[in-house]
Amino acid sequence: MMSARVAERLSPQDLFTKYNRRYFADHLPPDCPVKVTGAKRYLHPEALGLLDLKTGITIRPGPAELMRRTLLHEMAHLAVMMAAIGRGGPTLTEREALSATRAGDPADVHAHGIDWQREMWRLALNHGETWAVQHIVDNNPSVIDVLVAAFTRLPASSLPAPTNDEEVYRRLIENRDRRDGLRAAYLSARPAIAGGHSARSAKSVGRLAAPADALR
């Protein structure tokens, strides 16, 4: 597919611009730097990516699709942070701690709480990025039981049995009834980021002036 090949050749910075528009309604700061490096002073040795409000997004070099997914994972973090800053409410640390607590893991104060999960569900359910469910599950194992139960209730399929979890999630989301059920369960609490708000962009990462209502 020509379009896929063209997309793969885009630099991570250009991919950020593309997905900021396509998936985040241009609500993320357009000049957020996206750096590709595995250097230890930027990235923990085991990390694939990092979001830092001072230095932007860092992505470890690797296969194009892996880097693309890492970028979207970090953009979901950025959306959560933008919303927290835009509200002018609790500090980021407090906010993330609250998030993590609601997700049932008070120790995880730096990231994969309920707000981040909602961004990832949105990417999966509204934009077909079904791999994002694997990231949710990897960071929140309790979600697996719910998804497996939903999968076992799918109508019998002529397709061969799935060989991995990611295939299970993809089929769940491709099934309209199940997708709508998942959407209701995970996205209904607050409107999606791109759900009809007019796009307004913050001017820079250093001046994160996010529209509070747009991300929530």
| CB-CB contact of 204 with 29 (8 Å) | yes
Output the smallest distance, CB 132 to Zn ion, in A.
11
114 makes contact with Zn ion (CB under 5 A): no
Output the smallest distance, CB 215 to Zn ion, in A.
17
Measured CA to CA, the distance from residue 151 to residue 153 in angstroms comes to 5
Measured CA to CA, the distance from residue 165 to residue 92 in angstroms comes to 32
Closest of 26, 136, 138 to residue 79, by C-alpha: 26
Tell me the window of 39-47, 79-87, 103-111, 183-191 that interacts with Zn ion (CB under 5 A). 103-111
Measured CA to CA, the distance from residue 132 to residue 187 in angstroms comes to 14
Angle at 102 between CA 117 and CA 131, to 5 degrees: 15
Output the smallest distance, CB 130 to Zn ion, in A.
18
Output the smallest distance, CB 86 to Zn ion, in A.
20
Q: Judged by CB, which is closer to Zn ion: 53, or 111?
A: 111
109 makes contact with Zn ion (CB under 5 A): no
In this structure, what token pair is assigned to residue 198? 């007019």
Tell me the window of 21-29, 32-40, 108-116, 173-181 that interacts with Zn ion (CB under 5 A). 108-116
Distances in whole angstroms, Cα of residue 115 to Cα of each of 103, 120, 131, 160, 167 = 9, 9, 18, 35, 25
Q: Judged by CB, which is closer to Zn ion: 133, or 150?
A: 133
**Closest-approach residue to Zn ion (CB):** 111
- Radius of gyration, alpha carbons of the chain: 17
In this structure, what token pair is assigned to residue 204? 């820079």
Angle at 116 between CA 114 and CA 122, to 5 degrees: 100
Tell me the window of 2-10, 22-30, 106-114, 173-181 that interacts with Zn ion (CB under 5 A). 106-114
Write each residue from 44 to 73 as x if it is in contact with Zn ion (CB under 5 A), else as -, in one continuous string.
------------------------------
Output the smallest distance, CB 136 to Zn ion, in A.
11
Tell me the window of 31-39, 85-93, 104-112, 174-182 that interacts with Zn ion (CB under 5 A). 104-112
111 makes contact with Zn ion (CB under 5 A): yes
Q: Which residues bind Zn ion (CB under 5 A)?
A: 111
